[in-house]
Structure 1
Amino acid sequence: MTSPQPLPAYSRDRLAERLAAGPVVCGEGYLFELERRGYLQAGAFVPEVVLEHPEEVAALHRQFVHAGSDVVEAFTYYAHREKLRVIGKDGILEPLNRQALEIARGVADTTGTLLAGNICNTGVYDPADPATHAAVREMFTEQVGWAAEAGADYVIGETFRYLGEARIALEVIRAAELPAVILLVAGHEPVTRDDVDITDACRELAALGADVVGLNCVRGPATMLPLLGPIAAAVDVPVAALPVPYRTTAEQPTFHALRDPGPTPLPEDLPFPTALDPFTCHRYEIADFTRRARAAGVRYFGLCCGAAPHHLRAMAETLGRTPPASRYSPDMSKHVYLGADTRLRAANQAYRTSL
């Protein structure tokens, strides 16, 4: 078996500069957050909100930057030809992508953050069927082309369960002469669906020229963390970690596997994706994950489906940042019942000691 050969070099300036200066934080999770806010339908999870309520997308971008994100990622996740075909809206493919990039561009320009394009798993890739490889390449090529035209600093290719599909994404991004962040999914077992150990898969993608490699989605902090050290030891590029902010366990390592012991019946008895609330990590769990992931060698941080601004703020602050949202970080000293400030009434002090 021959070793993979990197493609020719190209400019990596802005992403490389940010990484050289310290850890990068990338806020993700737009699908779940906008679904919770009532602007996106769970199921297909197609980001039509980009066209229908662009002001809400821009607001969420700004809120994530306010909380500490160094990156505005264009909301083109699941905005590819196959997803739109499934809902019968192929005609909005290009307008949706271009509008998402324009919204993200505007926020990135006004906040001094990086602009990232985005492509993701297609649902059509079949390792044994070359026709699907060509279809995937075509979908990625049109999306990456629009990102390049919009002046994206780099492109994130993410949530890949197949190494083969991730390879195609990397080739397309590299051909567009853009830096590439390539993120894989480690499911119940830490192997890709084409049966490659997740560490070996990241090693191959780094050798092929990915600027950052790592994991995103599906696993929560507790079950993603053990996979990160081996990846960092195996590659010579920055490693990324973007878990979902849910309390996955060794027995239920992904948010698809979580089961709610509560008394209320759930659709198909599955908390995923619309009843995950009881499993949500609090901000201190995210801070702990951030410390541990950094110690394991991670340099590119973020959170995926389920993330909210307070989670990102905890991550940024743990990395030594003081984002604008830190002005409102918790301070219980003057809380009406819990505060210890001497200006509070003595009765409140007594209440506090009785807790």
Structure 2
Amino acid sequence: MTASPSAARGLAARLADGPVICAEGYLFELERRGYLQAGAFVPEVVLEHPERVTALHEEFVHAGSDVVEAFTYYTHREKLRVIGAVDLLEPLNREALALASRVAADTGTLLAGNICNTNVYDPADPASADRARAMFTEQVGWAAEAGVDYVIGETFGFLGEALVALEVVREAGLPAVITMNLHEAPRTREGTELPEAMRRLADAGASVVGLNCGRGPATMLPLLAELVDAVPVPVAALPVPYRTDAAHPHFQALVDEAYPGLPSGRPFPTALDPFTCNRYEIADFARAATDAGAHYLGLCCGAAPHHVRAMAEALGRTPPASRYSEDMSRHVYFGSDPTLARLNLEYGRTL
């Protein structure tokens, strides 16, 4: 399979031109649409409804994403073991890469492979690193065969696991974007302070390092400037679009006291709706993150195309979806267009 038309320029060239936007959040968005089961969050939708995955790729590009990320998140051997479907490992990965490759080729966007935390890595158990490496090697091998421009390794809590993933990607001869998912404290699960963790990843050959998932804009933004100062490579910032705060820095920690009867006892992961950031908050984050020096931007779990469009427009871009950005001057009640009925205009001003 041939690489996307962007491969001749690649990730480094795109970053040299300005910030790169990478839309993520496929798990949550396809779950909301009724094509993926919350809990295991294994994207069987790739095989069961490939047209829905293709459509979401297209929608994210339409909204302003510079990257089509193959939906191979949580398609590793361990996640498939949990649902009793290890036999789907290779066909699921190859189909996800094929779907993403076609959209990237059609749109001239970057094509990214994807790997993530394995849920088996334990720094106290050297054998677990070998198991994680084997899983990464399988997925990265299929991504390389698909002609990806680079590989995203994401949502790592352990620096050690992130370094193993990075080593596998570099051995395949591909650029790597490595992002970590922090919970309560700005350090890795081993206790490594964040700037030091980012330096080690950059020194090991990552093309981009940074943060994704877990933290919303309000609790990710304060960490970015220190990271930019710490590393010689571009910094990534891909928060979840939820209103985390100092008391609840990670979306798994959010609580909704208005609804004490939530099935899980907490909003995460299926009752986060009241905490969702609006498009204007995402635009504010995009501007603030670039001001802080982050150069690789996006959104993770919970993102929808209108969020991505807001991010692109905040960077001064006009993606195709901008044709449909709001124009309230035409609203029947709130509009200022002189052709609107005077009675409706007056009513609108009183609402």
Taking structure 2 as the reference length, the TM-score comes to 0.97
Correspondence for 1:5: none
Cα distance in structure 2, aligned partners of 1:119 and 1:81: 11
Deviation at 1:49, TM superposition (A): 0.4
Correspondence for 1:313: 309
Specify which of 258, 264, 270 is matched with residue 268 of structure 1.
Answer: 264
Correspondence for 1:177: 173
**Contact 2:333 2:349 (C-alpha < 8 Å) held by counterparts:** no
**Contact 1:76 1:117 (C-alpha < 8 Å) held by counterparts:** yes
Deviation at 1:348, TM superposition (A): 1.8
Deviation at 1:220, TM superposition (A): 0.2
Correspondence for 2:234: 238
Correspondence for 1:354: 350
Task: Indicate yes or no: 2:192 matched with 1:199.
Answer: no
Deviation at 1:200, TM superposition (A): 1.1
Task: Indicate yes or no: 2:264 matched with 1:250.
Answer: no
Q: How many residues align?
A: 345
Cα distance in structure 2, aligned partners of 1:279 and 1:226: 19
Specify which of 141, 151, 155 is matched with residue 145 of structure 1.
Answer: 141
Matched to 2:317, the amino acid is R
Correspondence for 2:326: 330
Correspondence for 1:289: 285
Cα distance in structure 2, aligned partners of 1:328 and 1:268: 37
Task: Indicate yes or no: 2:38 matched with 1:42.
Answer: yes
SS at match of 1:41: coil
**Unpaired runs of at least 5, structure 2:** 1-6
Task: Indicate yes or no: 2:91 matched with 1:122.
Answer: no
SS at match of 1:267: coil
**Contact 2:333 2:344 (C-alpha < 8 Å) held by counterparts:** yes
Matched to 2:237, the amino acid is A
Cα distance in structure 2, aligned partners of 1:237 and 1:166: 16
Matched to 1:133, the amino acid is A
Deviation at 1:39, TM superposition (A): 0.4
Deviation at 1:264, TM superposition (A): 5.5
**Contact 1:12 1:178 (C-alpha < 8 Å) held by counterparts:** no
Correspondence for 1:31: 27
User: Deviation digits for residues 16-65 of structure 1, max 9, x if unmatched?
Assistant: 11101110000000000000001000000001000000000000000000
Task: Indicate yes or no: 2:337 matched with 1:344.
Answer: no
**Unpaired runs of at least 5, structure 1:** 1-10
Deviation at 1:350, TM superposition (A): 1.1
Cα distance in structure 2, aligned partners of 1:240 and 1:323: 21
Specify which of 77, 93, 108 is matched with residue 104 of structure 2.
Answer: 108
Cα distance in structure 2, aligned partners of 1:330 and 1:156: 33
User: Deviation digits for residues 70-112 of structure 1, max 9, x if unmatched?
Assistant: 0000000000000001111110000000000000000000010
What do you get for the CA RMSD once the two structures are aligned? 1.1
SS at match of 2:253: coil
Matched to 2:68, the amino acid is V
Correspondence for 2:3: none
Deviation at 1:352, TM superposition (A): 2.8
Runs of 4+ in 1 over 6 A off after TM superposition: none
SS at match of 1:43: coil
**Contact 1:74 1:116 (C-alpha < 8 Å) held by counterparts:** yes
SS at match of 1:213: strand
Specify which of 116, 127, 133 is matched with residue 129 of structure 2.
Answer: 133
Deviation at 1:13, TM superposition (A): 4.7
Specify which of 213, 218, 223 is matched with residue 219 of structure 2.
Answer: 223
**Sequence identity percentage:** 70
**Contact 1:57 1:103 (C-alpha < 8 Å) held by counterparts:** yes
Correspondence for 1:4: none
Taking structure 1 as the reference length, the TM-score comes to 0.96
SS at match of 2:21: strand
Deviation at 1:353, TM superposition (A): 2.5
